Amino acid sequence: MPADHLPPASSGGAAPREAAPGEDERLAAFDALIAADQRIEPTDWMPPAYRKALVRQMSQHAHSEIIGMQPEGNWITRAPSLKRKAILMAKVQDEAGHGLYLYSAAETLGTTRDEMLDALHSGKAKYSSIFNYLAPSWADMGSIGWLVDGAAIANQVPLCRASYGPYGRAMVRICKEESFHQRQGFEILLALMNGTDEQRAMAQESVNRWYAPALMMFGPPDGESPNSRQSMAWKIKRFSNDELRQRFVDMIVPQAEILGVTFPDPDLRWNEERGHHDFGELDWDEFHAVLRGNGQANALRLAKRNAAHAEGAWVREAARAYAERTATSERIAS
Ligand code: FAQ
């Protein structure tokens, strides 16, 4: 029977039923929640494009945390003292935890951890450009903490207010930990800058290498950022890439003065009129080359990640077997 010949829902004497909300009504309810700065939760209806945008950003973010363990993890055995080793181990473990919160939060959107990891391991998924740079000196542990975690905080504090509940809530704890990470990086550099000429030179050389890549972590300039507008309209992102980059530069310049290091940018100066620091154009060709897989360490990072996953297969199998056995004994007991 054609749809327009169907009897009305209230026919047959039954009490009239409320019609299930149509697409327009659900979209209006979603828009109203966003407009009122309310959170969207996993069981709420959401536009498929919103879900897709979140899976994209959250899974990339999770991958960044996990791949980001490598440059510092590589220094744990070579840390210059027991204290430094203990701090570095704790930091790298924190990053693993951040990855796990974010994968769990992304799973609430209906994507599986295996799907996300497959995309990472096959090289299809993106992760932050910054982790495709090598960290050849101990001072790099300072620069990563100060500049990389510092940029991560500048980017992530506004994400604590992201419209998607599980993402925003995961970010609160992550930001608290990142703040400790940034201080420990700053303190490593401070110790080096208070050391010998050789140590000061090591710190400065490291800062020279990490400054521009850290600024690129905020993503392409606003005019070339295809996702920003919609993401800001949905209140996933609260500020644009350039706004956050500017905020970060304004934050690190006085910190660099305390450390006694300089940044490798001849155009970096205070602009009284704007009330911000001006800074030079970044090398966006380098950024895109890194995203295409041609950075210093893309191949190395992916190979290590794949090897670690393969070596961990027995742990996953054991955990699965244990879960099955526990479930069976619970069934027998009940
Ligand atoms: N690297 O349209 P937009 C950390 C891609 S965590 C690689 O502007 P959007 C902690 C972007 O995905 C660091 N790709 O994109 C730590 C898009 O490609 P798609 C990670 C980048 O999403 C410290 C395309 O370019 N943090 O460091 C990058 O609006 C130490 C066009 O860009 C997060 O992920 C990049 N830098 O804005 C861990 C924070 N930038 O997906 C260990 C959450 C852009 O269309 C040790 N993410 N792309 O194919 C965000 O806030 C945003 O996703 C942005 C990019 C700001 C990264």
Domain membership flag for residue 42: yes
pLDDT at 16 over 80: no
User: At 10, is the pLDDT very low, low, confident or very high (cuts 50, 70, 90)?
Assistant: very low
- How confident is the model over 146-171, as a mean pLDDT? 97
pLDDT at 332: 83
pLDDT at 218: 98
pLDDT at 20: 64
Q: Which residues contact 206 (CB under 8 A, 6 or more apart)?
A: 137, 139, 140, 142, 143, 189
User: At 321, is the pLDDT very low, low, confident or very high (cuts 50, 70, 90)?
Assistant: very high
- If DSSP codes are grouped into helix, strand and coil, which group holds residue 237? coil
C-alpha angle 175/181/183, rounded to 5°? 110
pLDDT at 1 over 90: no
pLDDT at 3: 36
Tokens coding 160: 């604590």
**Mean predicted lDDT score pLDDT of the chain:** 93
Q: Report residues whose beta carbon is within 6 angstroms of any ligand 1 atom.
A: 56-57, 60-61, 64-65, 68, 95, 126, 128-129, 144, 148-149, 152, 155-156, 216-220, 225-228, 231, 237, 241, 291
d(CA 179, CA 325): 41
d(CA 86, CA 94): 12
Domain membership flag for residue 159: yes
- How confident is the model over 91-110, as a mean pLDDT? 97
- How confident is the model over 199-207, as a mean pLDDT? 98
Percent of the chain with pLDDT over 90: 90
Output the residue whose Cα is nearest ligand 1's atom 17. Answer: 227
Domain membership flag for residue 120: yes
Pick the more confident residue, 6 or 210: 210
Pick the more confident residue, 123 or 14: 123
Query: Which residue segment(s) compose the domain that 188 sits in?
Result: 26-276
Pick the more confident residue, 15 or 269: 269
Domain membership flag for residue 265: yes
Domain membership flag for residue 205: yes
Q: Measure Cα distances from 251 to 147, 164, 176, 246, 268 in Å.
A: 10, 28, 18, 9, 13
pLDDT at 179: 92
pLDDT at 328: 87
pTM here is 0.92
Percent of the chain with pLDDT over 70: 94
pLDDT at 22: 84
129: CA distance to ligand 1 center in Å? Answer: 8
- Give the gyration radius of the chain's Cα atoms: 24
220: CA distance to ligand 1 center in Å? Answer: 9
Q: If you write DSSP's letter for every residue of 113-173 in order, what string do you get?
A: HHHHHHHHHTT-S---GGGGS---STHHHHHIIIIIIHHHHHHHTGGGG-SBHHHHHHHHH
User: At 2, is the pLDDT very low, low, confident or very high (cuts 50, 70, 90)?
Assistant: very low
244: CA distance to ligand 1 center in Å? Answer: 12
d(CA 278, CA 261): 18
pLDDT at 9: 35
- How confident is the model over 234-245, as a mean pLDDT? 98
pLDDT at 223 over 60: yes
Total tally of structural domains belonging to the chain: 1
The pLDDT tens digits for 293-317 are 999 999 999 999 999 999 999 999 9
Q: How many CB atoms lie within 10 A of CB 84?
A: 19
Domain membership flag for residue 2: no
Domain membership flag for residue 55: yes
pLDDT at 178: 92
- How confident is the model over 152-160, as a mean pLDDT? 96
219: CA distance to ligand 1 center in Å? Answer: 6
d(CA 231, CA 239): 10
Which atom of ligand 1 is found nearest the CA of 61?
A: 34
Output the residue whose Cα is nearest ligand 1's atom 11. Answer: 219
Domain membership flag for residue 288: no
Output the residue whose Cα is nearest ligand 1's atom 55. Answer: 219
The pLDDT tens digits for 267-276 are 999 999 999 9
Q: How many CB atoms lie within 10 A of CB 97?
A: 13
pLDDT at 7: 33
19: CA distance to ligand 1 center in Å? Answer: 42
Output the residue whose Cα is nearest ligand 1's atom 48. Answer: 219
Side-chain-side CA neighbours of 14 within 13 Å: the count stands at 9
Tokens coding 227: 């996702």
pLDDT at 18: 53
pLDDT at 150 over 50: yes
Amino acid residing at 333: A
CATH at 177: 1.20.1260.10
Pocket test for ligand 1, best of 50, 52, 58, 64 (most atoms within 8 A of CB): 64
pLDDT at 182 over 90: yes
pLDDT at 14 over 70: no
